[in-house]
Amino acid sequence: MSIPTVLFVEDNDDDLELAKLALHSLDAPVNIHFVRNGLEALDFLFAQGDYADRAGEALPKLVMLDLNLPLLDGREVLKMIRENPRTQAVPVVVMTTSAEPPDLNSVVRLHVNSYVQKPMDFERFQARLVQIVRYWLEVNQVAQT
């Protein structure tokens, strides 16, 4: 059985460092791959550009996606994930600071699996992130593609 991969898409340096600390505290084997913008996320998922060598590798078991990203925002990334038959079943969790209904509604229409507001303190952020990853990797059942 291969070790699952989580793709974490985040451009904020502080949130990225907090996520690295939190995800490295997982006691289960998991590969965490961090990217900093929407285009890099799509390159990783579709094995293109700098990630062309990933062709034939398994897709991530989970994508943690921020909404406000440089080059291509999270909504566009989610839209492209859902439009591609190969990636459309990959679970995507939007984790963002926004609690605005238009932000939530925009990604619900794009079939996001979950929308989570980022806690502002580290302990809650860490606990929430670990809880999300454990749920999607250990509890949730996904269709085999």
CATH code of the domain covering residue 69: 3.40.50.2300
Which tokens in the block code for residue 123?
């302990």
Query: Has residue 5 been placed in a domain?
Result: no
Give residue 24's pLDDT: 76
Query: Has residue 42 been placed in a domain?
Result: yes
Q: Please tell me the distance from the alpha carbon of residue 2 to that of residue 73, in angstroms, as a whole number.
A: 30
Query: Has residue 3 been placed in a domain?
Result: no
pTM of the prediction? 0.90
Domain total for the chain? 1
Which tokens in the block code for residue 64?
């943690």
22-32 residue pLDDT tens: 777 777 788 88
Query: Has residue 72 been placed in a domain?
Result: yes
Query: By residue range, what is the domain housing residue 22?
Result: 11-139
Query: Has residue 6 been placed in a domain?
Result: no
Query: Has residue 54 been placed in a domain?
Result: yes
Q: Please tell me the distance from the alpha carbon of residue 28 to that of residue 65, in angstroms, as a whole number.
A: 21
Query: Has residue 4 been placed in a domain?
Result: no
Query: Has residue 115 been placed in a domain?
Result: yes
pLDDT above 70 (res 1): no
Contacts 24+ apart (CB under 8 A), 1-4: 2/58, 3/29, 3/30, 3/31, 4/30, 4/31, 4/60, 4/61, 4/62, 4/137
105-144 residue pLDDT tens: 999 999 999 999 988 888 888 889 888 988 998 888 766 6
Least Cα distance to 24 among 136, 138, 133, 141 occurs for 133
